């Protein structure tokens, strides 16, 4: 399951540089996560780094982009091939 940034985002800029897949970018109003690139840091870290550094806890799992750990691992392998 990819992650999503909610409207509670305060645009503090700490999440974007932490993403090893470059899945986070500045959107029109708040930062956004590209679900095609988000692996929840599977293959890189034990925990999603954006969630770890977010000061307002606004990065939950995206219910519209559910993926199993195996699917996330396969996406990581495709992205890093």
What are the tens digits of pLDDT across the range 37-59? 999 999 999 999 999 999 999 99
- Residue 27 domain-assigned? yes
5 falls within a domain: no
Q: What CATH number is given to the structural domain containing 60?
A: 3.30.70.20
Please state the pTM of the whole predicted model. Answer: 0.92
DSSP letter for 24, please: E
DSSP 40-66: TTTTT-SS-HHHHH-TT----B-TTS-
In a domain? residue 9? no
Residue 64 lies in a domain: yes
Please indicate, yes or no, if residue 24 is contained in any of the structural domains. Answer: yes
Per-residue confidence in pLDDT tens, the chain, 81 aa: 799 999 999 999 999 999 999 999 999 999 999 999 999 999 999 999 999 999 999 999 999 999 999 999 999 999 999
Residue 42 lies in domain: 16-80
Rounded to whole angstroms, the Cα distance separating 75 from 72 reads 5
Q: Please indicate, yes or no, if residue 8 is contained in any of the structural domains.
A: no
């Amino acid at each position: 399951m990819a992650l999503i940034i909610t409207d509670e985002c305060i645009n503090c800029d700490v999440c974007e540089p932490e993403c090893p897949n470059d899945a986070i970018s500045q959107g029109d109003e708040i930062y956004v996560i590209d679900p095609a690139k988000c692996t929840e840091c599977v293959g890189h870290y034990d925990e999603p780094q954006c969630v770890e550094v977010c000061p307002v806890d606004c990065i939950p799992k995206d219910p519209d982009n559910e993926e199993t750990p195996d699917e996330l691992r396969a996406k990581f392998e495709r992205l890093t091939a």
